[in-house]
Structure 1
Amino acid sequence: MKTWCVLAGGLALSMGVWAGEVQVAVAANFTAPMEKLAPMFAADTGHKAVLSFGSTGKFYAQIRNGAPFEVLLAADDETPAKLGREGQGAGRFTYAVGKLALWSRQAGVDAQGEVLKGGRFEKLAVADPKLAPYGAAAVETITKLGLLETLRPKFVQGENIGQAYQFAATGNAQLGFVALSQVWADGKLKQGSAWIVPASMHAPIRQDAILLDKGKDSEAAAALMKYLRSDKAKALIRSFGYEI
C-alpha cells in the first residue's frame, strides 16, 4: 500500500509538471460540442482548455489587438487564413463543416423552408453577417430564395449565432437561422421544428482551427490542436450534426 501511494503521488507530481492551460477562442456555434470536448481533453491529456465564446469577427479584432488567445476555433476558414497571412498564427486545419438550419422552438417549420414564403411570423433571428459566418450563410440563403427585401424588415440581428439562437429559443423571434449544432444532438432534433438548409444554398461553412502566435510554444495548445483531429473528438463533433 505504501509503495502504491508513493507511485501515485509521483504520478500526480509528474502530471502537475507538464499539465498546462490553453486559452481558446471558440466560435459561438461550437459552444455545445466544445463544452463536452474540454473535459474529455482534460481527462485524456491533463491539460485544461480555458474557453471564451463569441463571434469569429469579434475574435479576429481582439486577436489583432493583442488578446491572449492561443487557439482559435473559427466559424469559417477565411479568418484563420487571414490571421496566417498576417503572421498571427499557423498550422490551421478544418475541424468541422457546419450546417445551417431554420429553426423554431414550436412546430411549423416544414422540411423545405416554405414557411419563409408564407410570412406568417413577425421576427426572424439572424446573426450579424459581417461578424458571423452563419449569419452570412443565412443572408445568402434568403437572397437565393428571392426573399431578402421582403424579410429584411423582420430581422432581429444578433452579434453572433449564439445570440440569434437565444432570440429564437426565448420566443423573441418566431423563427431563427441557427447552427444545426445548437438544436441537434445524437442524430436528432432536440426540440421544435427545423429546415436543414441544403449546402447548395450557401457557401460551405468550413470551420478552421489555427494555432495562434501566443500559443506556438505551448504544449497544451499543441495538444489541443492534435486532440481535435483524434477519432474520439471527431465522433463527438459529428454527433452535433457537423461534417468532418
Structure 2
Amino acid sequence: MKKKSLFIALLVIASVFAATRPASAETVNVAVAANFTAAAEEIAALFAAETGHEAVLSFGSTGRLYAQILHGAPFSVLLAADQERPRLAVEAGLALADSRFTYALGALVLFSAKEDLFEDGSILERPADFNRVAVANPASAPYGAAAVETLEALKLYNRLKDRIVQGENITQAFQFVATGNADIGFVALSQVAGRGGGSRWRVPQDLYKPIAQDAVLLKSGADNPAAVSFMAFLKSDAAHKIVQNHGYQIAP
C-alpha cells in the first residue's frame, strides 16, 4: 500500500512539473558581447521562468562572435556591442533585416581597483601614477575601439601606447584591472555599476562614438520559437529594467 501511495505521489509531482513547462519549450543559442554578460544572464533566467524556453549564452568579443557565425557556429541570436556586425550579418544574408534593433546604449569608464587613485581623466597625463592601461582588443571589441578613440581624442595615444595591455575582450580587460595586472583600464560602465570601491571616471560621451548595441535574429533561428520569443522578450519592460539596472540606457 505504501509503495502504491509513493507511486501516486510521484505521478502527481511529475504532472506538476510538466504543467509548468510548456509542451513547446525550446532552446535558443545566443551569442552575447562580453560587456553584457551579467545582464544577459539575468535576462535569460527571467526569460526561462516566464516562457519555459531556455537561452544558452555564449560570451566573447563581438568581432570573434561574428567570425564564428560566419564560419557556421550554431547561434540563432546575436547580441552585439555595436551596430556594425548585426548590419554585416544582414548584408551577408545571415540575419533578418527587420529583426534588428538597439537593445542597449553602453558607456565607457576609466576604472582602477585602487581607492582614491584618480577622480577624473587627468591621471592619463601623469604616467608616473600608474603602470599599465588595460583595454579590450580594438579590432574585435567595440569598447576597446572606444578606448583607443578616447586616447586619440585626448592626444595621448602615442604617449601611452607602450603601456597598453590588451585583453581579448572587455571581460579580460576588466580582469587585468581587478587583479592589479594593470593599475587602470577602460571598461564598460555595466562592469562597475553597483560595485563599491576603487576609482572611476565616466568618460565624456564627446570623446568617443556612441556605443549602440544591436540585437539581430539570425536566419538559422527564424523558425525557432525560443529565438523569436527571446528577441521579443528583450523589448519587454522587464528586460528593459534589467538592462538599466546594469548601467545601460534604453534607446529612444
| TM-score bucket of the superposed structures, by smaller chain | over 0.9
| Helix, strand or coil at the partner of 2:105 | strand
Query: Which has the larger strand fraction?
Result: 1
- Compute the TM-score of the two structures, normalised by the length of structure 1: 0.93
Match of 1:101 among 103, 109, 113: 109
| Helix, strand or coil at the partner of 2:130 | coil
Match of 1:62 among 68, 81, 97: 68
Match of 2:139 among 113, 119, 130: 130
- Aligned-residue offset at 1:112: 2.6
CA deviation profile, 1:131-181 (whole Å, cap 9, x unmatched): 000000000000000100111000000111011011011110000100010
Residue 72 in structure 1 maps to residue 81 in structure 2: no
The 5 A counterparts of 1:225-236 are 225-236=231-242
RMSD between superposed Cα atoms in Å? 1.8
Between the aligned residues of both structures, percent identity stands at 52
- Aligned-residue offset at 1:203: 0.5
* Kept after mapping to 1: 8 A contact 2:120/2:200: no
CA deviation profile, 1:82-115 (whole Å, cap 9, x unmatched): 1011111021100000000000011234343111
Structure 1 Cα separation of the partners of residues 124 and 163 of structure 2? 11
Residue 174 in structure 1 maps to residue 180 in structure 2: no
Residue 83 in structure 1 maps to residue 89 in structure 2: yes
- Aligned-residue offset at 1:35: 1.4
- Aligned-residue offset at 1:15: 3.1
Tell me the number of residue pairs that the alignment of Structure 1 and Structure 2 aligns: 238
Q: What does residue 228 of structure 2 align with?
A: 222
In the alignment, structure 1 segments of 5+ residues that lack a partner are: none
Structure 2 Cα separation of the partners of residues 171 and 161 of structure 1? 16
The 1:21–1:148 alpha-carbon spacing in structure 2 relative to 1, beyond 3 Å, is same
Structure 2 Cα separation of the partners of residues 77 and 192 of structure 1? 31
Structure 2 Cα separation of the partners of residues 95 and 156 of structure 1? 30
* Kept after mapping to 1: 8 A contact 2:29/2:75: yes
Structure 2 Cα separation of the partners of residues 108 and 142 of structure 1? 22
The 5 A counterparts of 1:1-244 are 9=15, 12=18, 15-90=21-96, 91-119=99-127, 120-185=129-194, 189-244=195-250
In the alignment, structure 2 segments of 5+ residues that lack a partner are: 1-7
- Aligned-residue offset at 1:17: 2.0
- Aligned-residue offset at 1:29: 0.2
- Compute the TM-score of the two structures, normalised by the length of structure 2: 0.90
Q: What does residue 4 of structure 2 align with?
A: none
Give, as a single letter, the amino acid of the residue that structure 2 aligns with 1:171: G
The 1:51–1:142 alpha-carbon spacing in structure 2 relative to 1, beyond 3 Å, is same
